[in-house]
Structure 1
């Protein structure tokens, strides 16, 4: 049996002292594409933040890409995040440098040293998201969809075992959302595991997949109706 990339048992999610979600038990296996849905304020972002250790796991047991979230030490968080690709709603690109330098900044921050290897890796990930010719452009010169493609490329830099995409199409129009979704689908087909928080139900209908729902302080799998 293949080890799950993410395994949670009786997990509660807290924001400071207040419990947002509780009783979460779930597994995500390598190669799966999983949606996380729920209304605004239902706890999706807090759930995601717990997975990449922005919020501590205080209750229950959780393992993600080989790390134990319960016993995770502060100094191990960068190593955990190196094995995760995180895509945010608002792109989080550095405005004062071009695309190539944005990606190089991440590689340097995660321990890459050799210039030629960094360049090769950057070219590879930009090619994967259809942005190979845009490396010299600054974020403000790109459309929202292009910026999100760069953000996805950035998430791929360290060859992550799991991509956490938190509302990656939240700031995009419907047509651009579909284009970004196609990029994520291709990455998933190439073997990446993706957990994507979204409230864009049109995408769920267009690209049905395993779906988890945040509702009433729980997270549970929902069966999508076909037709």
Structure 2
């Protein structure tokens, strides 16, 4: 699939011996913004974990950012994750470090060595999420919305081909959720492909886009009604 960043064909996802999702046929192309919805326990998290290599794909075909999910080996997972930007519900920031130190930590961990290049990259991603003046603050000094912006900036550090946002507004109040959503929308307009798992149906109505739903062990596209 030439333009697809994610392609699953007749794929099934298992947690140990339990079948979680079956007969998944999904394609996400470069530049798409796609929602993943479904009640708790319907497999959204398992779906996301399969995409970043936490759960092996044992049945069907699957390819993500040019990695074959069926053939993915343990030692390839760090390389896969460098091509993905992952944003979690609970931010996963290091509280004993400043915003800038959090981002430096990731750059060094993924092989960057040139200090000037690292500083420049950090400025670039913080600008994208409107947090350029907060580099020297400790993460615990930030509001939830600001922490999630930093988490999005962190996801952008290695120019990912696909951003996986797993309930990125789950811990935020409605107003802050909208602000974070605006950041994600802007990043998408700049060409980043985003798959966002969410419970927040208000956001789907406000920012309609292609929507996949997990239900009854299946993943299918939901057609949103216009107006």
Instruction: State whether TM-score is above 0.5.
Output: yes
- 1:15 maps to which residue? 15
CA distance in structure 2 between the partners assigned to 1:16 and 1:145 by the alignment? 35
- 1:156 maps to which residue? 156
- 2:121 maps to which residue? 121
CA distance in structure 1 between the partners assigned to 2:13 and 2:186 by the alignment? 31
- 1:182 maps to which residue? 182
- 1:220 maps to which residue? 220
The residue correspondences of 1:97-108 to structure 2 (distance < 5 A) are 97-108=97-108
- 2:130 maps to which residue? 130
Runs of at least 5 residues in structure 1 that lack an aligned partner in the other structure? none
The residue correspondences of 1:172-211 to structure 2 (distance < 5 A) are 172-211=172-211
- Deviation at 1:63? 0.2
- Deviation at 1:3? 2.4
Secondary structure (helix, strand or coil) at the match of 2:35 reads strand
Two-structure CA RMSD over aligned residues (Å): 0.8
- 2:3 maps to which residue? 3
TM-score under structure 1 length normalisation: 0.99
CA distance in structure 1 between the partners assigned to 2:196 and 2:128 by the alignment? 19
Secondary structure (helix, strand or coil) at the match of 1:85 reads strand
Q: Which moved more, 1:1-10 or 1:103-112?
A: 1-10
CA distance in structure 2 between the partners assigned to 1:112 and 1:161 by the alignment? 18
Secondary structure (helix, strand or coil) at the match of 1:191 reads coil
- Deviation at 1:14? 1.3
- Deviation at 1:39? 0.5
1:91 aligns with 2:91: yes
Secondary structure (helix, strand or coil) at the match of 1:226 reads coil
Secondary structure (helix, strand or coil) at the match of 1:5 reads strand
Deviations 1:100-122 (A, max 9, x none): 00000000110001111111000
TM-score under structure 2 length normalisation: 0.99
CA distance in structure 2 between the partners assigned to 1:74 and 1:127 by the alignment? 34
Secondary structure (helix, strand or coil) at the match of 2:42 reads coil
Misfit runs of 4+, over 2 Å: none
CA distance in structure 2 between the partners assigned to 1:26 and 1:37 by the alignment? 14
Aligned length: 227
CA distance in structure 1 between the partners assigned to 2:141 and 2:16 by the alignment? 39
Runs of at least 5 residues in structure 2 that lack an aligned partner in the other structure? none
CA distance in structure 1 between the partners assigned to 2:195 and 2:44 by the alignment? 11
